[in-house]
Amino acid sequence: MPEQGAPRPRPVFLHSAAQVVTLAGPPRPRVGRELEELGVIEDGAVLIEDGLITAVGPTAEVAAMLPDDVERWDARGMVVLPGFVDAHTHLVFAGDRVQEFEWRTRGLSYAEIARRGGGIRMTVRQTRAASEEELLESARRRLRWFLRHGTTTLEAKSGYGLSRDEELKILRVIRRLREAGPVEIVPTLLAAHVVPEEYAADRSAYVRMIIEELLPEVARENLAEYHDVFCDEDAFTVEEARTLMKAARAHGLKLRVHAEQWARSGAARLAAELRAQTVDHLEKIAEEDIAALAAAGVMAVLLPGACFHLGRREYPPARKLIEAGVPVVLATDFNPGTSPTPSMPMILALACTQMQMTPAEAITAATINAAYSLDRGHCAGSLEVGKRADLVLFDVPDYRHIPYFFGMNTVRAVFARGRLIYDRANGCEGTA
């Protein structure tokens, strides 16, 4: 809906696209073979009115139902996709970890660097030292990177504060970004990222602090929709995670879990037991656990960017997950330590080349399935009448070109809520 007082935008008729990839289908996450059903319309068109999609179809059909005073956008030779939904990002933090990146090229491992006081704790020190305004400014800049790569909805986690006040500071930055739009942001509390240094001698006191001091405040101020916990080696145990997840659920938060990235810790089992909404990473997941996820209806969020950036050879078993009927999602895991990329097209390329997902499966995982993983399936993730007009135009004539051209941004233009917010041709960045 247009904001109060804002002029009513003109309807937009996007026409003559080589392919409109609609992702139209059943109103639920896609599984198994459904992942390949993209609902492609050749010589396709989309009509946008008041920020919503009001028609999708062949150009000739949509042209017959145009309102007066429509703005035309010729998409000849281009592919139109729903805006990407990035279901796992650590958007808000200060600084970067480029020094550690160089150390890794010289042979130090991520775990060694973390043990020497680097890693997540390094970013925590920098983030605590930054003001809310500084964090807001750097996150805004990053949001523009996401937009330019076609992302119009993203999940954003806290997790670099690790105290009551510092986690609240990050969630308030996320709230300000949510209120500003046009990218839709879904907030997640990740206070249980690692145990902060000051609680090293008494881990349970940190878990208690989250439960007794942080969760009630987060719920009271409505600062997060999801709770996440890094349940892995050098992070939180399954028992700690279970306690945290139950407490978070009691406060009305839905559950996501960082699981089995470094070790088969039992975190995926726990996600199945508690019927979390998603379980993320899964590089080390075992076959029996895959069956448990499928039975519990937990969605798997795969993050190949983290494997790539860390130079790991093992990627999550996407094919086994798909064959078992687990709804699969792809996301960037944008963060300073393991995956500094805002690019969903790059993630699609990695999914195809490193996890043997087909281009069609990868696109479904990055749009409609990702939207369902954030409870946004009703309004985002596909080009269907009544949904938000979040869409991306690519300068290529076939959707398979999107993962095929890796390391190159083929995004030509982005519409969010019906407004053109990025147009590479004239550098327009609108409200973004």
Of 167 and 390, nearer to ligand NIG (C-beta) is 167
Of 286, 322, 320, 328, whose CA–CA distance to 303 is shortest? 328
Q: What is the C-alpha separation between 165 and 163, in angstroms, rounded? A: 6
The one among 138, 152, 261, 265 contacting ligand NIG by CB under 6 A = 261
Tell me 8's DSSP state. P
Beta bridge partners of 379: none
Minimal distance in Å, beta carbon 258 to Fe ion? 6
Among ligand NIG, Fe ion, none, partner that 242 touches (CB below 5 to 8 angstroms by kind): none
Among 149, 172, 227, 258, binds ligand NIG (CB under 6 A): 258
E-state strands within 363-432:
391-394, 411-416, 419-423
Site residues (CB under 5 A) for Fe ion? 333
CB-wise, 166 or 333, nearer to Fe ion? Answer: 333
* Shortest Å, Cβ 202 to ligand NIG: 22
Span near ligand NIG by CB under 6 A; candidates 115-123, 129-137, 172-180, 420-428: 115-123
Other beta carbons within 10 angstroms of residue 71's beta carbon come to 12
Shortest distance, position 267 Cβ to ligand NIG, whole Å: 11
The label of the residue with tokens 């409200």 reads 431
Give the whole-angstrom CA distance, residue 75 versus residue 363.
20
Instruction: Report the residue number, 51 or 119, with the smaller CB distance to ligand NIG.
Output: 119
Which residues in 407-426 contact ligand NIG (CB under 6 A)? none
Q: Does 335 bind ligand NIG (CB under 6 A)?
A: yes
Site membership for ligand NIG, residue 230 (CB under 6 A): yes
Output 62 or 306, the one with its CB closest to ligand NIG: 306
To ligand NIG, the closest distance from the beta carbon of 261 in angstroms equals: 5
Please, are residues 65 and 6 in contact by the beta-carbon 8 Å criterion? no
Q: How many residues interact with ligand NIG (rule CB under 6 A)?
A: 13
Closer residue to ligand NIG (CB): 94 or 368: 94
H-assigned helices in 106-201: 110-115, 120-129, 132-148, 164-180
Which of residues 240 and 333 has its CB atom nearest to Fe ion in the complex?
A: 333
Select from 11, 182, 317, 337 the one that contacts ligand NIG (CB under 6 A): 337
Provide CB contacts within 8 A for 281, sequence distance 6+: 258, 259, 260, 261, 301, 302, 303, 306, 316
DSSP code, position 354 = H
User: What is the residue whose two structure tokens read 């997902």?
Assistant: 357
* Min separation Cβ 228 and Fe ion, Å: 8
Binds ligand NIG by CB under 6 A, chosen from 11, 29, 336, 403 = 336
Task: Give whichever of 235 and 293 is closer to Fe ion, judged by the CB atom.
Answer: 235
- Nearest CB to Fe ion, comparing residues 231 and 421: 231
Cα torsion for 90, 92, 93, 96, to the nearest 10°? 70
Q: What's the closest the beta carbon of residue 267 comes to Fe ion, in angstroms?
A: 13
Strand partners, 334: 89
β-partners of residue 226 are 188, 254
Token pair listed for 240: 């700690």
Binding mask 83-112 for ligand NIG (x = CB under 6 A): -------x----------------------
Smallest distance from ligand NIG to CB 335, Å: 4
Of ligand NIG, Fe ion, none, which one sits near residue 261, judging by CB under 5 to 8 A according to partner kind?
ligand NIG
* C-beta separation of 364 from 332 below 8 A: no
Quickly list DSSP for 270-286: HHHHTT-SEEEE-TT--
Half-sphere exposure of 356 (CA within 13 A, CB side): 9
Which of ligand NIG, Fe ion, none does 230 bind, CB closer than 5 to 8 A by kind? ligand NIG
120 binds ligand NIG (CB under 6 A): yes
Pairing of strands 391-394, 328-330: unpaired
- C-alpha to C-alpha distance for 260 and 281, rounded to whole angstroms: 7
Task: Give least dist CB 17 to ligand NIG, A.
Answer: 35
Choice from 306, 330, 350, 391 touching ligand NIG (CB under 6 A): 306
State the residues that interact with ligand NIG by CB under 6 A: 90, 119-120, 123, 230, 258, 261, 306, 333, 335-338
